[in-house]
Structure 1
Amino acid sequence: MLISTTLKTTALSLSLSLIAATLATAETSMDEMWGDSVVKLRAQDAERGQLFNDGNYAMFVHWGLYSTLANKVDGKTYYGIGEWIMNPRMADIPVEAYMQLPASFNPTEFDAKALVQLAKDAGMKYIVITAKHHEGFAMYDSACSDFDIVDATPYGQDPLKALSLACEEAGIGLGVYYSHFQDWTAPGGGRGPKVDAEGNAVSFEDYFVNKCLPQIDELTSNYGPLELIWFDTPASISKEHVEQLIAVVRKNQPKALINGRAGHGLGDYQGLGDMEVPLRNVPGMWESVDTINDSWAYAWYDENWKSPKEILRRLIGTVARGGTYMLNVGPRGDGSVPERSARTLRSSGEWIQEYPQVVYDVDASPWEHALPWGDATVKGNKLLLSVFEWPDSGTLYVPGLLTEVKGARLLNGAANEAISFAREGNTLLLDLPAQAPDSLVSVIELELASTPKADPTWALDPTTKTTIEAEFCSTEGATLSNIRWMEKFGEWKHMKQVTDWKPGSAATWEVDVLVPGDYQVDLSYKGEDRLVWEVEVEGGEKIRNQQASSEIYQAHPMGWLHFPEAGRYRIHVRLLEGDVKSSSLSAIHFGLVLAD
């Protein structure tokens, strides 16, 4: 579809003065607009959040006018998240031109029942759909704005009403996304036009009173019981405005949760950054939001789908850290869901239906981080081990388990079988068959004498390469810092890195060696030109090597280190020569080469 400022104005067009009005300014970064969202569900609100807290898995749906463009404007493809296509940092579409899109928006392939069935097949417990994104277009029947799917499009139907009925019929929860600060087409909206159609100056208060607050009242009054109201990018919205929005939600939907991005710490739970699955356990109620490919909204070129195994890795990783995982799909402009995204969701959903006890109503891993071969969740006195990397040796090493084990069994449908095990100190050794019983993720259930407890110290697995991120190191003389960057516009990556290397500075990891011997050590880093690194076992060997570097993080081989006996060691990494100022270290890797 072509967007052009020469198109004729329509009844929905604003005056030409709006073309020059300010949209989103580039000064504010996207992560700054998320706002302070570190909050917890209040104890007195225990009735709210049960589905969120126990279900642990939900579907996010980004669908709007931007879906019809699919990241292509006037023949040019824009790479990044599709729902921001209008923004100056993407295609920079003028308001007047964007306001003409509804005339050709006719999503006749939208099937609410099919979308709900897909969510159920995927193992998801509720759906959150974009009722209004930053573009300002209401994907429901709004009485306070003509810029909506019922009044402004040939489709003329309310998809949110259909989705509400389908969710109720299927017994699945429903939530709505609403961009409460940013509205790029509404006069007065955050980063939107500053004058109305008659050229009169308008303020954010005008937008808030005339559109934002009434639409939240509509959404929370007209679509049955809602599980969640998902606000986004609070940016500079005032606390008083957020309090007014929350008061409406509490009045109309007393059992609905409000996410942390409402702003000012007034939501019910913590929201992490987009596409962020944390490496450490996070206390309280929190949520990780992710997307099934790279864009949230449909982008014609984006075929980088997460495999069923990767979906499960990120889902279980989130739940094992103590959180809830919401995974996004982006329907096409016609309302249909891309076939490949549906297939990968159903495939991972079949696994969840086979092993629901791993995902639903479980507690976080006692190790507080993943293990080299997989991850763990807890249900009472049972420990559920999700094994992504099946050991070729036939022995699975479960390190640092402090609780007595009464029994172990390999879950495999109706053919669950007991497996033998032994202990060497705090390490549990499980005797496994040569072949993994499940092609995606195999599950072992340990029955314990009491609630699982574990030593969170990282252990070097003898059969699987052990990668330990900088997140888990301490530093002396160098700086450990969080970084967040975009591969494409809006495609977020997150990690910790060690930087600001100085003479004598070091990054130090504490590890447990389960099997003594020679281990290959690699370092993941980035920098310029060649770098000389040193890796030292405190009180033991040290190795040095010079390797090339690049602008992106890559693993580079350092050499072999010998651990003469099982036990705990401290490993020091130092950058000795090269670009010590801008080089950064992100992880260390260990792989057993020769056992003693």
Structure 2
Amino acid sequence: MLYFRLFAWSTIIRTAGPGPLLFLLLCLSGCQPAETPQEAPAPDKAARLEWFRDAKFGMFIHWGPYSLLAGEWNGRQVPVGENAEWVMQKLEIPREEYRTLAGQFNPTRFNAEAWAQLAQDAGMKYLIITAKHHDGFAMYDSEVSAYNITDYTPFNRDPLQELAAACRRRGIRFGLYYSHREDWDEPYAYGNTWDFNFNPPDSLALFEQRYLYAKAKPQVEELLSNFDSLAILWFDRGLYTPEQAREFINLIHNRQPWCLINGRVGNYDQELLGDYQNMNDNGMPPGGIEEYWETPQTLNETWGYSRFDHNWKSPAEVIEKLVTVASRGGNYLLNVGPTGEGVIPEESVKVLQRVGEWMSNNSESIYGTTGSPFLNIPWGYCTVKENRLFLHVFEPPENGSLLLQGLTTNATSAYLLVDPLQKLSFSQESAVLRIALPPTLPDTINTVIVADLAGPPRVLPPVIRPDKDGAFLFDHYTAQTFGATAKRFNRKGKYHLSKWTAPSDSVCWYFEVEQPQSCELSITFAAQAEWAGQPYVICLDGEEIRAKVVETGDWYEYQTFLLDTVALRQPGKKKLTIRPAEGLPQYLMYFKSMELKPL
């Protein structure tokens, strides 16, 4: 990391109406003109996201001509651990040869009812399937491009319409994946470097004219017309400019105002766009994300079907990942990769059936819940619904007693979720809740204990302890945020604090000092050129440190700056706060962390 000392400003201080003919007809008939029906107001982001927040669990499906190849072409294999749906790119299959292979795609065993029923039985509330992946092949009846499953293959059916109808009958929300930037079938799209000599950033005008506005945007318009009430349009690989992304966002929200758009619609290197954010593929945040988010994960190591990949997750792994995501406030989008014949692999079916058994007894602890107020729980996880804690026990303590540290709201009862009549004894003292577990837990993977409270859970903020070198780290995970400040994720796989523009938007931490000491205080952040010079205030142990933001380069290019030397004169509990010094026209910075290092 780069270190700079900030001396310059660092100090220790504190329509036209009815026509004549219509008017005449109204008068002659003696009728009063009917009131013009008012168009329903467009939903705001919070309203669009309400169902998504409650759903928690969805099915992702990667399916296309690549499924027929099953991870192999001409005796060459896509290695296990890599994505089989990328077979065209990874093995550099010539465009015309891949088209010939796509023409043989004939998934005669496809059964939309069976797929939708599997999702329902597993407890999944929404389903997203690939309408067009990076290979450029449309898995629906497209008028924009004849390179689609109904016109180009002997199958001659629209499987996505069939699946949408099957989902609708079961109350499962239906969404579509669309690869809007990358298309290996198109000379002027991104990705195919073995057939075409074109790099879109070298000529965004050609990219837009020959591909984006000739195929991608018209196909998205087509999907909005052909599929009513889409729950989500799920984009991938991000566009080049915010303007390009906003064109897609505006198109979708104008045509289907309730349709959600995921965060991958925009440039990964810039400010996040869309209604909610996605983690990296198979990603899992440590917790503390204060925006709507979803993690796409897959049941083995590939997304599209590979006959070589047998590294299946166990039901226990899937249940723990689902609970982990819910306990951290997110949604779990779990992928299956059907075969070229149109069959979901038996291994996937068995895993989802076992997950469904667990959900049939415990779904109340997942749907409609919010994240855990506790940072770390050694025996499992916690989800919350109003005045109720759901305690997910994956590793029962040997002493048979669950411990919850820091809970100041009084508990009123404790019992098994699957058997509310089986009350459990508990005690609560000095913000510590103890619940006695029954001798035998009813579920071998995850037993859920319910703790009802007298009100919403209130939990003491964490107290940060020094590491082995005596240093204190203050990051997004342990931060307490106020005002508009939010803990966020970026597509570089990092986490930071942002959205703060006023003195009321602040962040604080508590830490414990054992003895008086002098320390160096440093800060790590990323900042754009236009953010440079914005003032901020750090309050520490009764003193203020004032500094200004420094440009760091790229959007997520974090750099570390040495602020000052501070004296911690008394041992005990301390509070560290940072906030904008004044109202700002844009975000203060992308804050990653601060560190106190003893001298």
Q: Scaled by the length of structure 2, what TM-score is found?
A: 0.67
What secondary structure, in the 3-state scheme, does the structure 2 residue paired with 1:362 have? Answer: coil
The match for 1:334 is 341
Q: What does residue 409 of structure 1 align with?
A: 415
1:435, CA displacement in angstroms?
Answer: 1.9
1:348-383, CA deviations, whole angstroms, 9 ceiling, x for partnerless residues? 11211211211001111011x341111001111111
* Unaligned residue ranges in structure 2 (runs of 5+): 1-41, 199-204, 478-490, 496-509, 513-571, 574-599
Match of 1:81 in 2: 83
1:456 CA drift (Å): 5.5
Choose the corresponding residue for 1:452, options 450, 457, 471: 457
Match for residue 448 of structure 2 among 429, 433, 443: 443
1:251 aligns with 2:258: no
Which of 204, 219, 222 does residue 218 from structure 1 map onto? Answer: 222
Moved over 6 A (4+): 472-475, 477-482, 492-496
Q: Does 1:421 align with 2:426?
A: yes
Q: 1:112 to 1:186 in 2, by over 3 A?
A: same
Number of the residue aligned with 1:380: 386
The answer on whether the counterparts of 1:122 and 1:348 sit within 8 Å (CA) in structure 2 is: yes
Q: Secondary structure at the match of 2:351?
A: helix
For structure 1, the 5+ residue unaligned runs are 1-41, 460-467, 483-491, 497-508, 512-567, 570-596
Instruction: Give the whole-Å Cα distance in 2 for the aligned partners of 1:478 and 1:395.
Output: 31
Equivalent of residue 318 in structure 1, options 325, 340, 357: 325
CA contact (8 A) 1:384 1:445 kept: yes
What is the CA-CA distance between 1:477 and the residue it aligns to?
11
In structure 1, the partner of 2:189 is 189
Partner of 1:101: 101
Counterpart-to-counterpart distance in 2, 1:281 and 1:412? 29
Contact 1:51 1:125 in 2 (8 A): no
Distance 1:347 1:458 in 2: 39
> Is the CA contact 2:260–2:275 (under 8 Å) kept in the aligned structure 1?
yes
In structure 2, the residue matched to 1:430 is 435
Query: Which residue among 199, 203, 209 is the counterpart of 1:205?
Result: 209
Cα distance in 1 for residues equivalent to 2:320 and 2:304:
23
Paired with 1:276 and 1:456, the residues of 2 have a C-alpha distance of 26
Instruction: Give 1:24-423 correspondences, 5 Å limit.
Output: 44-79=44-79, 80-87=82-89, 90-192=90-192, 194=196, 203-236=207-240, 238-264=241-267, 265-367=272-374, 369-413=375-419, 416-423=421-428
Q: Residue 27 of structure 2 corresponds to which residue in structure 1?
A: none
Residue identity opposite 1:445 in structure 2: V
Offset, 1:112: 0.7
Moved more, 132-141 or 298-307: 298-307
CA shift for structure 1 position 191: 2.3
CA distance, structure 2, for counterparts of residue 443 and residue 510 of structure 1: 33
Provide the C-alpha distance between the structure 2 equivalents of 1:341 and 1:453, rounded to a whole number of angstroms. Answer: 40
1:258-286 C-alpha deviation (Å, 9 max, x unpaired)? 11111053311121111112112210211
The count of corresponding residues between Structure 1 and Structure 2 is 433
Closer/same/farther in 2, CA of residues 353 and 94 from structure 1, 3 Å limit: same
Separation in structure 1 between the aligned mates of residue 226 and residue 197 of structure 2, nearest angstrom? 31
Instruction: Tell me the CA shift for residue 319 of structure 1.
Output: 1.1
- Structure 1 residues 66-121: Cα deviation after superposition (integer angstroms, max 9, x where no partner): 1111111112222111111111xx21212222111122111011111111001101
Distance 1:358 1:302, change over 3 A: same
Q: What is the Cα-based RMSD across aligned positions, in Å?
A: 3.2
Largest Rg, 1 or 2: 2
Q: Give how far 1:252 is off.
A: 2.2
Which amino acid is 2:427 matched to? A
Q: Which amino acid aligns with 1:377?
A: T
Distance 1:291 1:493 in 2: 20
SS at match of 1:150: helix
Q: Secondary structure at the match of 1:151?
A: helix
Shift in CA distance, 451/477, structure 1 to aligned 2, threshold 3 Å: closer
User: Using the alignment, how far apart are the partners of 2:186 and 2:56 within structure 1?
Assistant: 35
Distance verdict in 2 for CA 1:178–1:436, change over 3 Å = same
Q: What is the deviation of 1:235?
A: 4.8
Q: Does the CA-based 8 Å contact 1:287-1:324 persist in structure 2?
A: yes
Give the Cα–Cα distance (whole angstroms) in 2 for the partners of residues 448 and 481 of structure 1: 28
Distance 2:349 2:468 in 1: 39
- Cα distance, 1:142 vs. partner? 0.6
Q: Secondary structure at the match of 1:318?
A: helix
Deviation, structure 1 residue 239? 2.5
Q: Secondary structure at the match of 1:185?
A: coil
Q: CA deviation at 1:54?
A: 0.8
SS at match of 1:46: helix
In 1, the alpha carbon distance for the partners of 2:177 and 2:319 equals 24
What is the CA deviation profile of residues 102-141 of structure 1, one whole-angstrom value per residue up to 9, with x for unaligned ones?
2211101111111100110110101000000111000001
